[in-house]
């Protein structure tokens, strides 16, 4: 329920009575909008265009969830969050889910009371250096000045890496990716370290991308995934299986182009039928209708399509699938079966 109360003209306070522990699904349905936390701006993952429309890899996942739950891929309010504010925004119920390249760690899962519902991007922390420095390994970086984004796990990894290898460095903390890029390009730091995907995205926008390389060492595992609040398992299931639906869709060859045809009537493949609701009642089990997965996939395409559109090799960011290829192609992207 939403009731707007006026305390005089002094505070125009819309108090959305949002129970933080349970029934996120009901809240979202009553509100008619999904509140999705994204970054304040990271090339390829989430950024607003000139018309204020958000675009990117994480953004498309939010849209898929909105399409599955509400039937409208545009029924999303994007809430920009910083590294500092993201967890509070989720814990306080300001956002229903966070799709903001957040690393799945034990302490965040357990201590901060969140549920990571899966991994939508396998990442790792890398180093970007210019070719003319003649560095071929991160271990050659003794005494280097390192630009690093604060408020992330990367600064802890960095400290660990240099301590373990017993080499010195000078950290230059920066607040946003744009600043990191500026400092790196101007030579105020020798190397810029963050998630390798972010490095590739940043490098892609350079004037001469070929002058810069990402070093081979990946010093950490950074499984990035969407997360929801601890304790509301129904809602967590919906978000988890929306992600799985996108992944399975790619595996099963369901694309936004052929989905209309495939969902029109039950076909030969029982798993496709179950997923698209022409057979069985999986949607009902989730508390949604039968077409939920179809809508999610139609919102932005399957996992592969979303990847290709936002960060894939045809985009300026040109990320290879690598670890994020389907398991059949030697990657780690794997969805449990729809059964």
Choice between 30 and 185, CB closer to another protein: 185
- 319, 196 in Cβ contact below 8 A? no
Choice between 12 and 264, CB closer to another protein: 12
Q: CB of 193: closest distance to another protein in angstroms?
A: 13
- Rounded CA-CA distance 218/123 in Å is 9
Choice between 181 and 248, CB closer to another protein: 181
Looking at residue 336, the DSSP 8-state letter turns out to be: -
Burial 186-219 (b: 16+ CB within 10 A, else e): eeebbbbbbbbbbbbbbbbeeeeeeebbbbeebb
Looking at residue 164, the DSSP 8-state letter turns out to be: H
Choice between 129 and 254, CB closer to another protein: 129
Parallel/antiparallel/unpaired status of strands 114-116 and 47-48: unpaired
Q: Which helix (H) or strand (E) holds 309?
A: helix 303-310
Choice between 106 and 265, CB closer to another protein: 106
Going by C-alpha positions, the residue among 100, 18, 19, 27 that lies closest to residue 69 is: 27
Beta bridge partner(s), residue 214: 128
Q: CB of 16: closest distance to another protein in angstroms?
A: 5
3-state secondary structure of 305: helix
Q: CB of 214: closest distance to another protein in angstroms?
A: 17
Choice between 7 and 210, CB closer to another protein: 7
Beta bridge partner(s), residue 333: 326
Q: CB of 257: closest distance to another protein in angstroms?
A: 25
- Rounded CA-CA distance 131/206 in Å is 14
Q: CB of 101: closest distance to another protein in angstroms?
A: 13
Q: CB of 142: closest distance to another protein in angstroms?
A: 7
């Amino acid at each position: 329920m939403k009731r707007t109360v006026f305390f005089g003209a002094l505070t125009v306070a819309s108090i959305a009575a949002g129970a933080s522990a349970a029934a996120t699904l009901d809240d979202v349905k009553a509100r008619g909008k999904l509140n999705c936390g994204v970054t304040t701006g990271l090339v390829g993952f989430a950024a607003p265009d000139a018309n204020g429309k958000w675009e990117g890899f994480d953004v498309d996942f939010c849209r898929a969830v909105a399409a599955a739950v509400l039937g409208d891929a545009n029924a999303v309010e994007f809430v920009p969050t910083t590294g500092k504010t993201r967890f509070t925004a989720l814990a306080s119920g300001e956002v229903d889910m966070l799709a903001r390249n957040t690393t799945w760690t034990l302490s965040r899962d357990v201590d901060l009371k969140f549920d990571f519902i899966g991994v939508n991007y396998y990442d790792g922390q890398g180093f970007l250096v210019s070719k003319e420095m003649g560095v071929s390994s991160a271990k050659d970086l003794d005494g280097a000045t390192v630009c690093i984004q604060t408020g992330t796990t990367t600064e802890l990894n960095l400290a660990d890496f240099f301590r373990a290898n017993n080499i010195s460095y000078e950290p230059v903390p920066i607040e946003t990716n744009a600043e990191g890029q500026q400092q790196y390009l101007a030579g105020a730091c020798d190397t810029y370290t963050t998630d390798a995907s972010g490095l590739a995205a940043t490098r892609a926008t350079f004037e001469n991308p070929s002058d810069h390389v990402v070093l081979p060492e990946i010093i950490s595992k950074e499984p990035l995934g969407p997360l929801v609040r601890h304790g509301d398992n129904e809602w967590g299931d919906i978000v988890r299986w929306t992600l799985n639906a996108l992944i399975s869709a790619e595996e099963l060859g369901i694309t936004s182009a052929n989905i209309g045809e495939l969902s029109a009537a039950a076909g030969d493949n029982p798993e496709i039928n179950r997923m698209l609701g022409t057979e069985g009642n999986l949607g009902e089990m989730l508390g949604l209708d039968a077409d939920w997965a179809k809508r999610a996939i139609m919102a932005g395409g399957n996992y592969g399509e979303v990847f290709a559109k936002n960060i894939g090799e045809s985009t300026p960011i040109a990320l290879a699938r690598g670890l994020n290829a389907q398991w059949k192609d030697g990657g780690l992207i794997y969805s449990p079966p729809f059964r």
